[in-house]
């Protein structure tokens, strides 16, 4: 199956299925001599793993990461890195009733149509479990970018259903994000979000929302003109995540309501003789190349497709049937999607940083 690789110089290829033996990733192009341990990667894995709270899937996977190549004495060697997490809490029997039918909103029908076969046990490669591989690879990219350039990735849940926080993303800290199970840095709004997710879960339904992505301290000059602009590659990265339905960069659609005289970010020179902009409607890039300001964007996530409420669908014989799905699923993917957004942002920026260095020797 094509389409399993992301990046050009810092390239990852993920593999494995939700109910297979393991899920993993091969990282090629990682610079040598980066100090990294399984314990450091595990911190990000724990933010994404299932069963971490009452508002996530009850599936119990520790997602324990194993480094199987490319690291010696705690440092990367410059050769391909293989990261692997075994699947343990597998209940494939929960999916037997789905073998010959197509769940509304899911990839069952399109996978069957494209390949003539599909993995109905936990949805195979269409499962969000694949994203653990991205988070593992992203942990290495995040560490390198933090230590080398001081770059920070601070994604958080901005909206669940109609409940939204208006907190200033420039002031948000990781401590605030991790202070509650929904990963919204606004504690009062977070409790409202949690209550809504619990109500939806108890009703056998699901709900979506929006994650705000924030990348701080990106140096000037990253990104390529025309096709490989930073916003373009971030859009691809985010829209490749399961359940995403929209991407908005910088001022996004709200910016269309402004005039050019309002939207243009005027330049000035600060006390350290560094060029900055008075505002940041552009979202941290100009012409697709980073300008030194904070990069920010939004990612829209749909409600989870597999729900317990009765729905109409058809089977392989094209017969109409009623479906009441069983299994273990998140009523809202957003809390666990936050580290995935961080990871994909880090993989994008890491790749562009290496490309920039290769071009500007």
pLDDT of residue 168: 98
Residue 19 is predicted with a pLDDT of: 83
CATH for 348: 3.60.150.10
Structure-token pair, residue 313: 């669908």
Cβ pair 53, 47 in contact under 8 A? no
CA 158 to chain centre: 14
Cα separation, 69 vs 27, whole angstroms: 10
- Please state, as a whole number, how many other Cβ atoms lie within 10 Å of the Cβ of residue 311: 16
Provide the whole-model pTM.
0.95
DSSP 331: S
For the chain, give the number of residues: 361
CB 218 within 8 A of CB 151: yes
Q: CA triplet 360, 267, 216: central angle to 5 degrees?
A: 60
Residues of the chain with pLDDT under 70: 1, 59, 89-94, 327-328
Write down the residue that tokens 């993993």 correspond to: 24
The residue segments making up the domain with residue 93 are 5-359
The confidence score (pLDDT) of residue 351 equals: 98
CA distance 250 to 284: 7
- Tens-digit pLDDT profile for residues 122-150: 778 888 899 999 999 999 999 999 999 99
pLDDT value for 91: 64
**Cα dist. 331→54, 161, 178, 246 in Å?**
10, 12, 19, 19
Q: What is the structure's pLDDT at 312?
A: 94
Number of structural domains (the chain) is: 1
- pLDDT tens, position by position, 11-25: 999 999 888 889 999
* Whole-number pLDDT of residue 124: 80
């Amino acid at each position: 199956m094509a389409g399993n690789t992301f990046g050009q110089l810092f390239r990852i290829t993920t593999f494995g299925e939700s109910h297979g033996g393991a899920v993993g990733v091969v990282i090629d192009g990682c610079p040598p001599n980066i100090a990294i341990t399984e314990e450091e990667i595990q911190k990000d894995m724990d933010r994404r793993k299932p069963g971490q709270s009452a508002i996530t899937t009850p599936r119990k996977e520790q997602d324990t990461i194993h480094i199987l190549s490319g690291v010696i004495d705690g440092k990367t060697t410059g050769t391909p890195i293989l990261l692997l997490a075994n699947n343990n809490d597998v209940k494939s029997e929960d999916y037997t009733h789905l073998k010959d039918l197509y769940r509304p909103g899911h990839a069952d029908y399109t996978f069957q149509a494209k390949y003539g076969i599909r993995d109905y046990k936990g949805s195979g490669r269409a499962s969000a479990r694949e994203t653990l591989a991205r988070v593992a690879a992203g942990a290495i990219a995040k560490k390198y970018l933090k230590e080398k350039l001081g770059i920070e990735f601070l994604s958080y849940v901005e909206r669940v259903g109609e409940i939204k926080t208006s907190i200033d993303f420039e002031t948000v800290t990781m401590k605030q994000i991790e202070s509650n199970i929904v990963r919204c840095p606004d504690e009062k709004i977070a409790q409202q979000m949690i209550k809504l997710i619990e109500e939806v879960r108890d009703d056998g339904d699901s709900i979506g929302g929006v994650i705000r992505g924030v990348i701080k301290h990106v140096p000037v000059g990253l990104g390529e003109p025309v096709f490989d602009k930073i916003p373009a590659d971030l859009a691809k990265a985010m829209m490749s995540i399961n359940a995403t339905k929209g991407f908005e960069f910088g001022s996004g659609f709200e910016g269309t309501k402004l005039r050019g005289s309002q939207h243009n970010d005027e330049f000035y020179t600060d006390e350290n003789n560094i060029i900055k902009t008075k505002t940041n409607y552009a979202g941290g890039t100009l012409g697709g190349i980073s300008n030194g300001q904070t990069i920010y964007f939004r990612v829209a996530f749909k409600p989870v497709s597999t729900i317990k409420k009765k729905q109409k669908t058809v089977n392989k014989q094209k017969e109409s049937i009623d479906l009441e799905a069983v299994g273990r699923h998140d009523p809202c993917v957003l809390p666990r999607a936050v580290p995935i957004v961080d990871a994909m942002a880090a993989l994008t920026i890491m790749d562009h940083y290496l490309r920039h260095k290769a071009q500007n020797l």
